[in-house]
Amino acid sequence: MSCCCNSGVDERKEQLAKIARKYKTTKGALIKVLHEAQELYGYLPVEAQEIISKNLGVPMTEIYGVITFYGQFSLKEKGKYQISVCMGTACYVKGSSLLLEKLKERLSIEVGNCTEDKKFSLEACRCIGACGLAPVLTVNKDVHGRLLPEDVDRILALYE
């Protein structure tokens, strides 16, 4: 019996269990289920892994192995706004590493981490294929291109 102040959290657990059960008979469904779990939780906490393990019938070690193999899955909580700086070749040649340095400095966090207020998290990502606009960064689903380090403050201000 769940108390009402936890009802949001319990809903997620039940939703995830339902998703995992739905895919139990689909071969190779683990990655799909992990994507949906991450959509639900924002990242992949142990609690989510346990639900998947139990309902999909996959051992925890295997789940952990898959999560840590793929760059998109995160064991760490992400910020409300996830900033990803593209480090593909075209963006690199056009100075994306300078963008990344400026962001690290402005947010006072290292790559892979989240600000204390959980507002922004910072990643260096693989090429997203918008090379015509290099250098590029994304904030959640928004793509910002043709950037200089001076543009960082303006971009962050959009998400105040």
Residue 99's Cβ-count burial label (10 Å; 0-12, 13-18, 19+) is: buried
Residue 130 is a binding residue for another protein (CB under 8 A): yes
Binding residues for another protein restricted to 3-42, rule: CB under 8 A: 27-32, 34-35
Nearer to another protein, 77 or 101 (CB): 101
What Rg value do the Cα atoms of the chain yield, rounded? 18
| Nearest-approach distance from CB 5 to another protein, in angstroms | 34
Q: 20 CB contacts (<8 Å, ≥6 apart)? A: 33, 51, 52, 54, 55, 56
Total residues contacting another protein by CB under 8 A comes to: 44
The whole-angstrom separation of Cα 24 and Cα 97 is 43
- Given the rule CB under 8 A, which residues bind another protein? 27-32, 34-35, 58, 62, 65-66, 69-73, 87-94, 98, 101, 105, 125-134, 136, 141, 143-145, 150
